[in-house]
Structure 1
């Protein structure tokens, strides 16, 4: 009888222990923002108003040298959500959904769902709304319409009726509540979902579309800024640039009121920058609402929060308006990680100079949650979250294609950015670029490849690039979206 009681107590104790372990496994909330470069107060910008993002940085670790794997939405997000680099996935454009080519790949939400997590996608997470839909326990897709003003909607209707392929105005600032625009509604959906799943283990992605074009936000965020404070960037391409290094910026050209050719005049440039900044403050406020909900529901103590962007964006630099390049301005991204507040050794108000990449998110969350390790291209940066000054990787890597033949492979070591343009079909080098790179981007304006002073540096960077993109393997990288 005593033995039976002892065994029963052991079983009950084990069951309680497993339940407690399940309870203690952290939740995760990831804010995935579209087209946001490190243009935030916590990254040193003196004009932008981003109090909620800045508060998260003070409550965690800000990574200064974080990089996207490709400066375009769909492949970047696929890389984040699979933990694999674009050259492993083989999809480089926005036109090919992941699951149309890869039914077999294990994605982050699929893995976490298999491990007993409730997985939630709100807003724009994958570029294609229904891509990998079955991997989410709750899936609230992004909305398409971005305009609310009657005059904007009238313009869109008139263009459509005239058979003209064009978007609406490039910016709008209606005097409306936050949820009149789609990121406000996505935020409401995220908050509503948190109330429903508060007693479950969860992985939630909140996809905020701004500051992607059109630069639309409620008027109160527009009113935070004075147009005269904005400086028009130099509209000059870097000297001795490779002919395909910059993209023509058709993305903005497709919007009503934007000239079809030639540079923008300065007043319109300032309007667009104004809209970009207002959009940042708008999504900052939405993030703040979700963070408040985590606190109100007593979830923050057991929830790691990540804030990141899929890639950067040019707001007039080099005379361009888009991402779509290998320049520092397009691949450098904000990346902030704040551990669950109950974690006794959590690091706060810290900055790390370590090279980290968006592809590192998946393995980081796997380690955080104590789940079985996966074979991924990224590295867990949880050690850096716990100790930001650890010695880490020596470089970060990205790529960008030009058509079906040419691929630009790039890396940075913090001082220089080096890019090789490679003809994959003929397996030969087409051109190379070496730039100084820093946070103000303005030193990335002269290609140093032929400067005798920097030939040793060029050779070092070439070897560094070859570590990730070996020349003898480049022609074998798949391209599935031909």
Structure 2
């Protein structure tokens, strides 16, 4: 009888171990490019904690954002819906989009599969209410200088940066407390201010030991306390926890000790080529309005301004590395470590002078490529290996779905879209696998502002060895990464690469053919304003009113058609 009871208990324990679901810790950095030691983007970058995690992970060296700017990128990896399906390419509110608002977010889907969901810091771009069980820390990009009325340019930064706003223009050590003099328009202000939209709250800084915490430090502190609290309470439900660290997003303001790691006279500027854009036609393709080029030009107006900016970006990455190290240390000291999958990535890359750009939102490697690594307790045998096959951030959702054996429709409504990405689990099982079900290229899109049709956007595809770019105006670029990692030589018109270009064009068309087709022009009309509903009805009767043939009737098109036909 005793033997039988022991066997029953053992069988029950084995069964429990087999069905126990993994926890997921997702760590998202903002505007982090390849300036980390596992990727080798800058020889002076000091990131021992990124290196340590890479040594314990499977590293995807050819991972890319699907839209290299915050809002559409985060919408894509948090819903698993590619911009070609959502038609959300740029800066509009992602969750006002009819496809995305009818698709489940990752935390909602996890909740439906009996996961507890927690977040701290920046995960979505803006608030998405009701999708987390607990939000530990709200987002604040600060601190920033203030003129007594609003955030303003830091006095230590070039005046030519003022048109780009305080957020993207600020880079300084935390000890460089701004003193903004009074002007005709504002009373002036001494001291840092937080940057939470609509809330001008002072950020105290007297010394390194007597100051307020930065947003990322609050996120880290919340995580450390949350793990201890969960242990003390005997938390036994699987959890999905997302930590969004803001640095190295601007403002590039971190404690002095991180700046001290990079003495200004020793800072090396990123590798650049004079007249790099001459063979790209980028200016005409972007409508001569590239924010990144303008910021780069503004940084040329003062001696050493770009060097100081590079120092601040490196310092911000060193700060981010410190946050990562303490995060992983807290996890490894907890009882959850052996059953927690760690997935780390950035929402997109960032230019620090390369291609005459200082920003993001281009279709070149520096802007689209992201760090991406997965530490999975089950695949320790492959820790430290590298995957060279291209993947993209839209693969995050299906990968977690696969790892955690999640079930159910990922759409809220038929107007939502199914997952566009593919699980990368096969690469954890075999980093050199040829059995992946996903595409051979990673696709990135920028809004053309001329049409909503996917095929009429600015598009890049990245294969294992090549990058092909096709702008909405028909201009093309092609780069051979085997010989040209900096993308200095545009080979699009080189006859020796005609077959390569043709293959990549075919891959691009194949990906675009996968785009979700809206089930109808009218989605959730009951939630629309009456004018929008009326316009949709008009569109059904007069499809020819859609003059740019993008599948949507804009108000200007409506008014023009009505004027012409009445």
For this structure pair, what is the TM-score category when the shorter chain's length is used for normalisation?
A: 0.7 to 0.9
Matched, 1:31 2:24: no
Matched residues, number: 455
Say whether 1:167 aligns with 2:182.
no
Alignment of 1:327-476 (within 5 A): 327-340=364-377, 343=378, 346-372=381-407, 375-391=418-434, 392=436, 393-405=439-451, 407-422=457-472, 430-437=474-481, 441-442=485-486, 444-470=487-513
Structure 1: runs of 5+ lacking an equivalent: 423-428
Assess if the C-alpha contact under 8 Å between 1:311 and 1:333 holds in 2: yes
CA distance in 1, matches of 2:221, 2:484: 35
Deviations 1:350-384 (A, max 9, x none): 11112111111111111111222764111111111
Trace 1:302-321 onto structure 2 (pairs within 5 A): 302-321=339-358
Change in Cα spacing, 1:334 to 1:264, as seen in structure 2 (3 Å) is: farther
Structure 1 position 85 matched with structure 2 position 95: no
Aligned: 1:183 with 2:216: yes
TM-score normalised by length of structure 2: 0.72
Secondary structure of the 1:239 match is: helix
After TM superposition, the runs of 4+ consecutive aligned structure 1 residues lying more than 3 A away are 12-22, 99-103, 152-160, 163-166, 232-237, 245-253, 258-266, 437-441, 470-482
Superimposed CA distance per residue, residues 418-446 of structure 1 (whole angstroms, 9 cap, x where no aligned partner)? 12223xxxxxx62222223369742x123
* SS of equivalent residue, structure 2 residue 398: helix
- Give the Cα–Cα distance (whole angstroms) in 2 for the partners of residues 272 and 196 of structure 1: 40
Cα drift, residue 299 of structure 1? 1.5
The offset of 1:50, in angstroms, is 0.8
> CA–CA distance in 2 between the matches of 1:362 and 1:481?
32
TM-score by length of 1: 0.84
| Equivalent residue, structure 1, for 2:187 | none
* Counterpart in the other structure of 1:231: 269
> RMSD of the TM alignment (CA)?
3.5
Per-residue deviation, residues 201-253 of structure 1 (Å, max 9, x unmatched): 11111001111111111111111112223125346342332322587454797
Shift, 1:312, TM fit: 0.6
| CA distance 1:230–1:439, shift in 2 (3 Å) | farther
8 A Cα contact 2:49 2:322, kept in partner: yes
Larger Rg: 2
8 A contact 2:395–2:421 mirrored in 1: yes
Displacement after TM superposition at 1:465 (Å)? 1.5
Q: Are the equivalent residues in 2 in contact too, given 1:65–1:353 (CA < 8 A)?
A: yes
**Alignment CA distance shift 1:187-1:465 (3 Å):** same
Question: Is the alpha carbon distance of 1:481 and 1:271 closer, same or farther for their aligned partners in structure 2, counting shifts above 3 Å?
Answer: farther
Of 347-356 and 401-410, more deviation after overlay is shown by: 401-410
Structure-1 separation of matches of 2:310 and 2:354: 11
Q: What's the counterpart of residue 61 of structure 2?
A: 64
**Matches of 1:183 and 1:54 in 2, distance apart?**
20
